[in-house]
Structure 1
Amino acid sequence: MVEQRNASQHWRIRARRHPSAFLLAAQLLSLLIYPLFDDLTAGRVVFGAFGVLVLALAVWVVNRSPAINWIAWALAAPAFVLSLLSVAIESEPLLVASSALEALLYFYAAGSLIAYMMSDHRVTTDELFAAGATFTLLAWGFAYAFLVCQAWYPGSFTGAVEPERPRAWLELLFLSFTNLSAVGLGDVIPLGSTARVLVMLEQFAGVGYVAVVVSRLIGLTMLRVPPRSRG
């Protein structure tokens, strides 16, 4: 009993110290789970459940940053309700509405984490986790933006496999990751003007994030290391 209480207290301390790590872990875990349920009827329910979990974690991380909390809750609460309803009644308009709100929440959470990382000249372990979590938040945010774009402007995206059909969620997330990381794999291609503008904005965000935020964290980390340790 004492060991269980100590273990529980240990994880609570870790959660308070490194909230960004839990958000990053949830995002990466969902990447592993998506392919397992992608072709199943229950897949949409699983995706919805993980979306709710990530929404909760995103709001939790925003609460630990200098951002205004009520904005995060104003985006998360309706997104949470619409996401559950879209899964329960299989409504495409509700799914699009929840996706739009989730995109805004992920962008807001990413901006809050960037402000958190840029707020001082000291690099903590949680800020290093935040660097990874911010990348995934941006990737998810743009993927949801692509999904909304595809719903509003049919034919916005095409792909190497069945080019005429709308792109699946995992395909749009894959496009977002390859675009944000500048890998540039071309099996999913934007065709519409709005889709191409979104892709260009993500490319700009990816380059700017690496040039400003990541390079700053690396520089501050190197300054913290004694000269003998570097040599």
Structure 2
Amino acid sequence: MVIGQGPCTYLLLLLLGLILLFPFLEEGIFARTLLGILFSIVLLVGAFATRQTRRGFILKLGLALLGVGLQWVALWAQSIAILDLAGISYAASLAVSFSGVLRYILKRGPITADKLHGALAGYIMLAFVWSFVYALVEISSAGSFGPELLDFGQPGTFFKLIYFSLTTLTTTGYGDVLPLTNHARSLVMVEEFSGVFYVGVVIARLAGLYPSNQVK
């Protein structure tokens, strides 16, 4: 299938690029600056990616700009407290953008390449939302995830939670990162359910739309 040029296509490429480049952009102020730029672009593209009401667009853009601003302040001030606020803004911004992507791909109309790419982008965005939730849980209650203590001052720590979130969402569960407290386990169970539900609903919806748009 030829890659389309819709907004969800660009969002998907950015998310995949972020996952692949993340391990290379964690050490040093220059690398973290590049990572911050990439994160900022993802948030802003996520705000623009889907069709929405004016109020919904303003909400998405406001959360994205707030997250971007707090991220840059935390990056240069080396403040964990500000970074926590940035994480909350990131999670909220991605969650709102995810809801917009979900409405877009479930909406009646022809199945386009952009809509299929939106389904993939939405799946990755859902994993990112949960990774930020897990990070906030770990920061507020150290030792919620293990087996080793997660130190967010060390390179690679947040990427472990992204990796854990994606393996949880796909119910792969390699077991190298584990929820150690009941609060963490309850959130993990909700993510597992949301991942299975998302795939089932999206596939059923797209399969239901396909025959009416099939071209002979």
TM-score, structure 1 length as denominator? 0.83
d(CA) in 1 for partners of 2:151, 2:144:
8
Q: Tell me if 1:200 matches 2:203.
A: no
What amino acid maps onto 2:161 in structure 1?
L
What amino acid maps onto 1:211 in structure 2?
G
Gaps of 5+ in 2: none
Counterparts of 1:214-225 in structure 2 under 5 Å? 214-225=203-214
Whichever of the two has the greater Rg, that structure is 1
Q: Percent identity?
A: 26
What amino acid maps onto 2:58 in structure 1?
W
Q: Tell me if 1:126 matches 2:88.
A: no
Q: Tell me if 1:101 matches 2:89.
A: yes
Name the SS for the 2:188 alignment partner.
helix
Corresponding residue of 1:4 = none
d(CA) in 1 for partners of 2:166, 2:10:
20
Corresponding residue of 1:140 = 128
Q: Deviations over 1:128-174 (max 9, x none)?
A: 11001101110111111111111111111003xxx134371110000
d(CA) in 1 for partners of 2:33, 2:187:
28
- In 1, are the aligned partners of 2:44 and 2:65 still within 8 Å (CA)? no
d(CA) in 1 for partners of 2:177, 2:159:
11
d(CA) in 1 for partners of 2:93, 2:87:
10
What amino acid maps onto 2:151 in structure 1?
P
Corresponding residue of 1:8 = none
Q: Tell me if 1:44 matches 2:32.
A: yes
Corresponding residue of 1:85 = 73
Corresponding residue of 1:19 = 7
What amino acid maps onto 1:109 in structure 2?
S
Q: Which protein, 1 or 2, shows the higher relative CO under an 8 Å CA cutoff with sep ≥ 6?
A: 2
The size of the alignment, in residue pairs, is 208
d(CA) in 2 for partners of 1:194, 1:74:
30
d(CA) in 2 for partners of 1:151, 1:190:
14
Match for residue 53 of structure 1 among 17, 28, 41: 41
Gaps of 5+ in 1: 1-13
Supply the RMSD in Å over aligned alpha carbons: 2.0
What amino acid maps onto 1:217 in structure 2?
L
Match for residue 76 of structure 1 among 52, 55, 64: 64
- In 2, are the aligned partners of 1:21 and 1:130 still within 8 Å (CA)? yes
Change (3 A) 1:44 1:197: farther
1:84 Cα deviation after fit: 0.7
d(CA) in 1 for partners of 2:106, 2:150:
42
